[in-house]
Structure 1
């Protein structure tokens, strides 16, 4: 492929901007680059044909010290979709996304966008479909069931999207994985959280699944909106 292709040159410039110290500019540039890659059916190998990545990058986001199961599932699904890893630091209420190049910027940006969107949808569901007369524990069961249903659909759609347009070309997969493992190792030991069995309200879960189909997952990747750095508990 011709390295002077204007689309490739534009993507290279956007990827350079993705390393900007301006968080807003970096997130928008990374999102725009990913959208162009998808639209023109390009892989990172086409963009970086003469240069292999040398190290993994990190992006931090503020989260609650205790993550609900649905947030853990959401972050895991997004990391799988964008070939990244995420480490939660409960003592300080942060999550570190680890990936190579634009992948990590896009993963963190998509996580923030989807986190905000799912919370908004759940708030609407609780207001319009759940009686305020219910006991608090029953309302909370419906809330968490809705979240889990919505996230199950969204992460499934992300998997389907990745199957059609892989984030990383085959030759670079082991290179990226190695760099991410090294970055995680350099951060020290991590703790694995084991999920407990969840009790589900089937109506709320199913409604969450239905609403999850209407979430614009590409908006989190290609939107010109502001990146959200603070994520609630």
Structure 2
């Protein structure tokens, strides 16, 4: 960035407006533009940015609702999840309509694998269609292992990225937990796991689409629709589009071949997925303790 200021803009201004302009051209995140190099503090701040944002009260409300969604009362749990989803959608509609300023983030999920599984792509589709973020499948070189890993990048406002990351972890954990329960009760083999997991995710996606149709009638929410409310708002978010263009100036689209699906297991997964309730913490009988929205200090 300093070289760009000197050679491109012919200036000696170290950290002024031209330096910010150079950082924008190079895609340097704002937290890395300071003169100090306290990297551990910067990384910690990156985790806290969303919870220290002007919309932290919204996150606290959502966190409380997701805690209520753990209730043993099925009706109360469902209402809590519906209210949380409503608040998320309402925040994004107001933000776009009022052209509010926002801080954008990119969170990289790296499972240290050389392929993205179809159920991971399905979760990414749910995040794009219902949680107001954009997803980019990319590659990241691992210097220690001297190989390239496939990664998932979640891009959006700080608040949306925080929520989407939680939903990704929640769905991944619940999907595996439900499959283990289904496998024990139905004595199926691992061959049917993919079909069951895709069914769980499709069932959950349809449930979200039905809820948004009730909360925002007249909008396009169908799980198979070309443009859901989330997709429409993200497409109209000029700040997000500029942020993505800076990080990925040469994006391309790729189609993936469909996998074989076992109908019986898929339909069972759809049924279980439609009963899935998004909540704040997950502790399954298989010993998995899920992630929660970060605690505020």
Q: TM-score range by the shorter chain?
A: 0.5 to 0.7
1:119 maps to 2:176: yes
Higher relative contact order (CA 8 A, sep 6+): 1
Pick aligned residue for 1:53 from 97, 101, 105: 101
What's the counterpart of residue 32 of structure 1? Answer: 60
Pick aligned residue for 1:180 from 230, 237, 240: 240
Distance 1:33 1:98, change over 3 A: farther
1:192 is paired with a residue whose SS is: coil
Residues 86 and 212 in structure 2, CA contact (< 8 A), matched pair in contact too? no
1:76 is paired with a residue whose SS is: helix
Question: 1: distance between equivalents of 2:48 and 2:110?
Answer: 14
Distance 1:108 1:131, change over 3 A: closer
What RMSD, in angstroms, separates the aligned Cα atoms of the two structures? 4.0
Aligned residue pair count = 199
Residues 84 and 180 in structure 1, CA contact (< 8 A), matched pair in contact too? no
What's the counterpart of residue 263 of structure 2? Answer: 202
Instruction: Report the alpha carbon displacement of residue 186 of structure 1 after superposing the two structures with TM.
Output: 1.4
Residues 100 and 176 in structure 1, CA contact (< 8 A), matched pair in contact too? no
Q: Which has the larger radius of gyration?
A: 2
Question: 2: distance between equivalents of 1:162 and 1:40?
Answer: 8
Structure 2 gaps, min length 5 = 1-43, 66-81, 140-147, 217-228, 283-289
What's the counterpart of residue 98 of structure 1? Answer: 155
TM-score (norm 1): 0.67
TM-score (norm 2): 0.54
1:153 maps to 2:203: yes
Residues 65-80 of structure 1: matches in 2 within 5 Å? 65-80=114-129
2:203 is paired with a residue whose SS is: helix
What's the counterpart of residue 273 of structure 2? Answer: 212
